[in-house]
Amino acid sequence: MPLLNKFGDILGTDRFFKLFKTAVREQGFQISKKINDDLYEISNGSISFTIDTSDARQAYFSEKSEEELNRLVKKLEADFSAKAKLVSFTNSQPLLRFVVMREEDVSPDFIAADFVGILKKVIVYTADDITIEPLDKNYLKRWDVPKEVLFSVADRNMCRLLMKADISEARLKEDVRALEFKLPSSELCVSLMMCNDFHRVVSDSFGPKFLVVAPSLDSILVLENITNNILEGLGTVIINEYKSSKKPLTTDVLLFDRDGINIAGRFSAEAVQ
């Protein structure tokens, strides 16, 4: 990094903003509004939205690297591309997915449906299966499409995503078999449990009856149908993951079988201090 730029940072010159502004212009976009040092409204002339640059800014000042800034600009390009396709339902269909959320985290503007217990299924869109955004209810009116159709399309896309997931088998204590699922987006990975093909895929390894724990939007584990005493031994790990995560989901143990999905048990988040 040039010495002049370093002195500029010390003296309070917002070098990051200058770099970000230049990068945005080079892509044919513009900063239509600066909300604060981290939030900006970006426009391409017809579409605009707000972007949070706090992570890129922090990385820039701590590492003196423009790598995070470049990733942010690429995200902008993907966001504008996705927004353009959302103009029509036909063009937007490949972008639709759904994610699992706690009921308390679901905004009234989200397109949501019940999953199990306090968990909801929420429609989102993505251009790269990494960055995801909730789809606003206004699109139901704009497209004149019932939400059931959106969930059907999103389920089809999630089933395709399931086929791309990295699935590996591991053995826990007591020789319990478990399946791990991996995708670039942990939220989409955890949400695979809601798609129609999930039961069929897991049944190939564990049979028609199995358990799922997803204490956070960063983690999901599928277990063969084990006894309660073995499951109780895993409770501490589940609770700790739930309490330490920035994106907690549930301490429920979900039972999948031929009849559907039910709550097999629940660990108390207050059990571990």
Residue-wise pLDDT for 210-246, tens only, equals 999 999 999 999 999 877 777 777 788 889 999 999 8
Position with higher pLDDT, 142 vs 25: 142
Share of the chain above pLDDT 70, in %: 92
Residue-wise pLDDT for 167-178, tens only, equals 999 888 767 899
pTM of the predicted model over 0.95:
no
Give the number of C-alpha atoms closer than 13 A to the C-alpha of residue 109, restricted to the C-beta side.
Answer: 7
Residue-wise pLDDT for 38-52, tens only, equals 888 888 777 777 888
Q: What is the mean pLDDT of residues 170-191?
A: 90
Q: What is the mean pLDDT of residues 114-132?
A: 93
- Which helix (H) or strand (E) segment holds residue 171: the answer is strand 166-171
Beta bridge partners of 110: 136
Provide the pLDDT for residue 3.
41
Contact 31, 42 (CB under 8 A): yes
Helices (H), the chain: 3-10, 15-26, 54-63, 67-85, 89-92, 138-143, 147-164, 186-191, 198-206, 228-233, 235-244
